[in-house]
Structure 1
Amino acid sequence: MSQFLYPLVKLLQLIIREFQTLALLTILIYILVRKSKSSHLNKLINRIPGPAGLPLLGNSIECNVDNEEIFNRITSSKRLFGHKSGVTRIWLGRTPYVFIHTAENAEPILNNSRTISKSSDYRYIQPWLGNGLLTSSGELWHQRRKILTPAFHFRILEDFVSVFQEQSTVLVDKMEREIGMGQIVNVFPYVTLCTLDIVCETAMGRKINAQEDSNSDYVKAVYEIGSIIQKRQAKIYLQPDILFKFSSLFNKHQNCLSILHSFSYKVINERREELKKRRKDLEKSEYTNLEHKIKRMAFLDLLIEASDRYNLSNEDIREEVDTFMFEGHDTTSAAICWALLLLGSDQDIQNKVYEEILCTFDRTSSGKPFTTRSLNSMKYLEACIKEALRLYPSVPFIARKLNEDVRLKEYVLPRDTEAIIVVYNVHRDPKFFPRPEVYDPNRFFLPETSSGRHPYSYIPFSAGPRNCIGQKFAMLEEKVILANILQRFRVEAVDRREDLTLLGELILRPKDGIRVKLFPR
């Protein structure tokens, strides 16, 4: 028996030795590859100017500061380290972050269809938005973008103007009712509730009446989860999921998600039933074109209509509706409030806007609804909004995670770099915007002032293949709200721009709001 076992044992020993050798070889190759990649990354990143860091920690300790300080450090890094190249870098642990401050260096990233993956920092938003258009990448993003593009066709936007007008009227009536004329008021809360009402009605076809009931569970959940996301981004100890779960914010976060998702799913199911009923009613009538018959289709309706063709589940639809809700109210409210501050700081420019509004209607037509045609004729107001977005872009940073090496003017950014486009600084390049701190709407009103300007020197809605799908929607909404406010009130700014403390959070906002005085026209 032993004469048969002995060769078998020897064979097994040989196999084990070979397996161990192969395993060790595999581990060695893995270590060498990782070391080679790390060496390649370190070599390229450390060529870029930036502050010295600690071993393993990098610049993590320096970045663990308040929101206003981190915004100042990022924007001032161009002056301190990148005044020649327009590119700076820091290390957060072993992850390199490269800050892009110029149009020339932003273009190779934004105009590249292979560098559309969002930064890993967007993971804090994913529990709310899932794989919606903001957070998805690759083939999923391309598919969702294709599905959603028709939802922002100009004919559909025309239907939304009536919602903008209706909610803007609620806003100015509320301002007139609650704010003493000449009294100092922070306009941010008023405008934000208005844009929340607008985006909820256009996205889901539901009125939440946030302007009249800011204490509703849904409204409070929107604000609270935004605050929690900002805190996670700002505090290093809240970023790892395992630590966040042990924090006091985790239960609040989960409760907000429950409220927000439950509301969205409830509305989706209700709208599905409504659309089925309407379709049946139409089949009985002489009309067969559902989209023609249903006036003012909400964003959700269009998604439900597309769900059969593109195999979208309720969760897929919910992700896109929640994304629209998230992206569509804070950004526009910030743009409107910054425009009010700048117009309130220059009465001559504000008077020109007011005269343009009067030219659209007779002087006796105060309160008459604006139409798409009348809004399109307000070119100077549009220039004022664009210039406000230049100085104070609603989204001050655009963050991408590079999945391949990208060559800039002077440097090569290696794969796995977190690339941050500092829009706030890109918009202040004196090569393209002389006297960059001056508020001058003529930069966008007079054709000669914009000729020859770099196409990536002005990117408030990002640029390239991943630009903002809702920028026309946002511009129309901002024009309607500002036109209604300026038609009813003369606005006077209280604070000087240089005295404001800026917070670069999910949006760019002043720490203590925007204070103005309102006077009846």
Structure 2
Amino acid sequence: SIKNLYVFFSNQNANILIAHKYLFSSDSQATHNGFSYSNLCKMAFIIFFAIFSIFTFIIALYLKRLSKDYYLWAPCKRLKTVDGSRLSEKVYVVPGTTVFGNNFDILGSTPETIFLWCRELYRRTNGKSYILNFFRVSVYSITSPEDVQEVFQSQTLITKGVIYELARPFLGDGLLVSSDQHWHDRRKLLTPAFHFNILQSFIEVFKNESLKLIKSIKAEANGVVNLHDLIPEFTLNNVCETALGVSLDDIPGSKEYRRSIHNLELVMVNRLCNPLMYYETMFYLFGDHKKFYRDVKVAHDFSSMIIEKKREEFKSRQRAGKLDEQANKRKRYAMLDTLFYAEARGVIDHQGICDEVNTFMFEGYDTTSVCVIFTLLNLALHQDIQEKCYQEVQNLDLTTLSIFEFNQLEYLERVIKEVLRLYPSVPFIARHCAQTTEINGLILPPDTEINIHIFDIMRDERHFPDPLRFDPDRFLPENSVNRHPFAFVPFSAGSRNCIGQKFAMLEIKAILVGILQNFQLLPVTTLEEINFENGLVLRTKENVKVQMIKRKK
């Protein structure tokens, strides 16, 4: 009974006090009410051991129950199977190098070694999906088109993975990192900015920048061209002029802006190498946070300056009664105009405009430049394919090409698709489980991360025979008919597919047409010399170089 327990513990407390008294007594043989010092010590030890045993037993029961839902040493939530079978029977669980899951598997790695590690996991699992367990989060890594289809067609898996949170200080709540209703509203708002009529006006920008690029290459006098130095500058110009309606070359501080964008990506790539740096507190204490936020401020100040300038022009047209949205769409149009019209309707505020502009600038220039660089490299390495492309474009007039004529370049488009298959600008796509999710017989608890390794999927021989061979004819209709529709997803798919994929294809074609018409490409860098690096976009450790020889007219 409670009364007896009270009496028992009261007596034990009294005995402990007696033991304490005799512990410090000079007479080790002293007694009190029949208790010797040694007996009191034994009794105290027995009581302590009993309490400790009970406490340990309770903790063990709690941990056993907790272990059903968590990997205790990682620690992170445990994935389960729908049918209750062992998880290892359904999917490969990557063993960690320590008892703490996979937390220390990539600690201290470089972007290059992490990229190789991901490829090794793909080979180790024979192309099957696998699970990694990191601190507080499990990662389900997908390498099959069937699972990709489930994710991309899901109406609940639209939240981007936590990896993209590294870019939030720069991108804010822009389209790349936003989720839920906020993302739906912004996607609906921005979709008209990539309408066919507006893309037609962008064509003029692409052609003008392509002509500038040709002029710049000619200055090299048939020399070796470092594509990593040359191409990103012009793709950033394209994005700036189409997004903001201004040329970077005409704006003071543009070089500093280019530098800041490049530095921001480098810091984020380095953070990817250390899971501890994913957490803002750790990044603030031990990372390059001062450098990162300094470059964030440079980029924000630059874009805000342009936005304010363009807003004043917009308001001037508004006061002059020349603000006809449909009429302006038929003229040179910028994505910023769409945002200003939305601001006038109260749909978006200044911060929202800044977030979307920064997002478009960040997403648009580097992904496109990666594709252009690898296309030029592969054309240099495959002279027969380069000649077919040249035959297709040699008689075109770049200055008058329409969007319809660009879309008629079927062989060049197949070449670009084959480049995107082998060298996807975005090598993986991450999604976050906001709720319990079932995929392929697995139950993914909330906060599980899903990594879709499209780099591996699009090099899988089950979908692309002889996958490392560069063959644009893979994308002929007759060769694509039996291919899984989600085996080739360089622009993602589903509701969160790339909003600017048609924009990107037109920009890439404009650059390639101009170069092919004026230069023959010869290889300098070989594929064997290239070492890829892990990042939000596909990166190489080495600069890619080709030689460009002027064609004889």
TM-score, normalised to structure 1's length? Answer: 0.86
CA distance in 1, matches of 2:118, 2:94: 11
Partner of 2:45: none
Corresponding letter in the other structure for 1:332: T
> CA 1:352–1:63 in 2, change beyond 3 Å: closer, same or farther?
same
CA drift at 1:185: 2.7
Superposed counterparts of 1:128-207, under 5 Å = 128-177=170-219, 179-181=220-222, 183-207=223-247
> CA 1:409–1:277 in 2, change beyond 3 Å: closer, same or farther?
same
Maintained 8 Å contact 1:56/1:94 = no
CA distance in 2, matches of 1:383, 1:492: 21
Corresponding letter in the other structure for 2:411: Y
1:115 has 2:157 as partner: yes
Partner of 2:549: 519
Partner of 1:59: 102
Q: Which of 341, 344, 354 is equivalent to 2:380?
A: 344
Maintained 8 Å contact 1:491/1:519 = yes
Q: Which of 109, 113, 120 is equivalent to 1:76?
A: 120
> CA 1:516–1:323 in 2, change beyond 3 Å: closer, same or farther?
same
Please give the root-mean-square deviation of Cα atoms over the aligned residues, in Å.
Answer: 2.4
> CA 1:408–1:248 in 2, change beyond 3 Å: closer, same or farther?
closer
CA distance in 2, matches of 1:481, 1:213: 26
1:49 has 2:81 as partner: no
CA drift at 1:76: 2.2
Superposed counterparts of 1:248-397, under 5 Å = 249-282=288-321, 289-293=324-328, 295-359=331-395, 361=396, 368-397=399-428
- Provide, for residues 58-115 of structure 1, a one-character-per-residue CA deviation record: whole Å limited to 9, x for no partner: 11222121111111111221211244xx201222224211211111121111111100
CA drift at 1:417: 1.5
2:320 alignment partner, SS class: helix
Corresponding letter in the other structure for 2:249: N
Listed as ranges, the gaps of 5+ residues in structure 2 are 1-61, 72-76, 82-86
Corresponding letter in the other structure for 2:467: P
Maintained 8 Å contact 1:99/1:419 = yes
CA drift at 1:32: 10
> CA 1:348–1:54 in 2, change beyond 3 Å: closer, same or farther?
closer
Superposed counterparts of 1:206-245, under 5 Å = 206-209=246-249, 216-245=255-284
Partner of 1:417: 448
> CA 1:213–1:479 in 2, change beyond 3 Å: closer, same or farther?
farther
Partner of 1:483: 513
> CA 1:221–1:201 in 2, change beyond 3 Å: closer, same or farther?
same
CA distance in 2, matches of 1:484, 1:166: 10
Query: Which is worse superposed, 407-416 or 149-158?
Result: 407-416
> CA 1:33–1:310 in 2, change beyond 3 Å: closer, same or farther?
farther
Maintained 8 Å contact 1:163/1:201 = yes
Corresponding letter in the other structure for 1:346: H
CA drift at 1:169: 1.1
CA drift at 1:154: 0.8
CA distance in 2, matches of 1:204, 1:269: 11
Maintained 8 Å contact 2:171/2:356 = yes
Query: Which is worse superposed, 160-169 or 263-272?
Result: 263-272
CA distance in 1, matches of 2:65, 2:165: 27
CA drift at 1:486: 0.9
- Provide, for residues 172-217 of structure 1, a one-character-per-residue CA deviation record: whole Å limited to 9, x for no partner: 111111x231x3332122110000011011111121129x999722
CA distance in 2, matches of 1:150, 1:215: 28
Maintained 8 Å contact 1:393/1:508 = yes
Identity over aligned pairs, percent: 35
Of structures 1 and 2, the larger Rg is shown by 2
Maintained 8 Å contact 1:193/1:214 = no
2:206 alignment partner, SS class: helix
Corresponding letter in the other structure for 1:120: V
CA drift at 1:412: 3.9
Maintained 8 Å contact 1:214/1:220 = no
1:125 alignment partner, SS class: helix
> CA 1:378–1:402 in 2, change beyond 3 Å: closer, same or farther?
same
Maintained 8 Å contact 2:79/2:442 = no
CA distance in 2, matches of 1:353, 1:213: 38
1:193 alignment partner, SS class: helix
Partner of 1:19: none
Partner of 1:4: none
2:78 alignment partner, SS class: helix
Partner of 1:105: 147
> CA 1:89–1:32 in 2, change beyond 3 Å: closer, same or farther?
closer
CA drift at 1:247: 4.0
CA drift at 1:33: 9.5
Query: Which is worse superposed, 154-163 or 371-380?
Result: 371-380
1:216 alignment partner, SS class: helix
CA drift at 1:241: 1.6
CA distance in 1, matches of 2:406, 2:490: 20
Query: Which is worse superposed, 405-414 or 312-321?
Result: 405-414
Corresponding letter in the other structure for 1:72: L
CA drift at 1:311: 2.5
1:209 alignment partner, SS class: helix
